[in-house]
Amino acid sequence: MSISPVAQEVASAARLRGRLLVLAAAVLWSTSGFFAKAPTFESWPLEQRGLCLAFWRALFASLLLVPMIRRPRWRVALVPLALCFAAMNYTYLTAMTRTTAANAIWLQNTAPAWVFLLGVVWFRERIQPGDWSLVICGILGVGFILLCEARGEQWSGVIFGLLSGLCFAGVVLGVRHLRGEDAAWLISLNLLATAVMLGPLALAAGPWPSGRQLVYLAAFGMLQLGLPYLLFARGVRSIAGHEASGIALLEPILVPVWVFVAWHGEPTYQPPRWWTYVGGLLILTGLLLRYAGSLRAWRAPDRGGRGSAAPDAVPGPRPNPASDDCSGTAQDR
Mean predicted confidence (pLDDT) in 11-39: 90
Question: Hey, what amino acid is at 172?
Answer: V
pLDDT at 238 over 50: yes
For residue 167, the 8-state DSSP code is H
- Asked whether residue 317 is assigned to any structural domain, the reply reads no
172-192 pLDDT, tens digit per residue, is 888 888 878 887 888 899 999
Cα distance between residue 15 and residue 265, in whole Å = 41
pLDDT band (50, 70, 90) for residue 137: confident
- Asked whether residue 251 is assigned to any structural domain, the reply reads yes
* Segments forming the whole domain that contains residue 240: 5-299
pLDDT at 71: 85
Q: What is the mean pLDDT of the chain?
A: 78
153-167 pLDDT, tens digit per residue, is 556 777 888 899 889
Q: Residues 159, 165, 166, 170: is their CA dihedral positive or negative?
A: positive
Number of domains in the chain: 1
Among the listed residues 171, 185, 154, the one whose alpha carbon sits nearest the alpha carbon of residue 47: 154
Q: Are 14 and 239 in contact (CB under 8 A)?
A: no
- Asked whether residue 306 is assigned to any structural domain, the reply reads no
- Asked whether residue 202 is assigned to any structural domain, the reply reads yes
pLDDT at 41: 92
- Asked whether residue 322 is assigned to any structural domain, the reply reads no
Share of the chain above pLDDT 70, in %: 81
- Asked whether residue 60 is assigned to any structural domain, the reply reads yes
Q: Are 283 and 137 in contact (CB under 8 A)?
A: yes
pLDDT at 302 over 80: no
Among the listed residues 165, 139, 161, the one whose alpha carbon sits nearest the alpha carbon of residue 150: 161
Mean predicted confidence (pLDDT) in 17-38: 92
In terms of phi and psi (left: phi > 0; alpha: psi -120 to 50; beta: otherwise), the region of 313 is beta
Cα distance between residue 58 and residue 113, in whole Å = 26
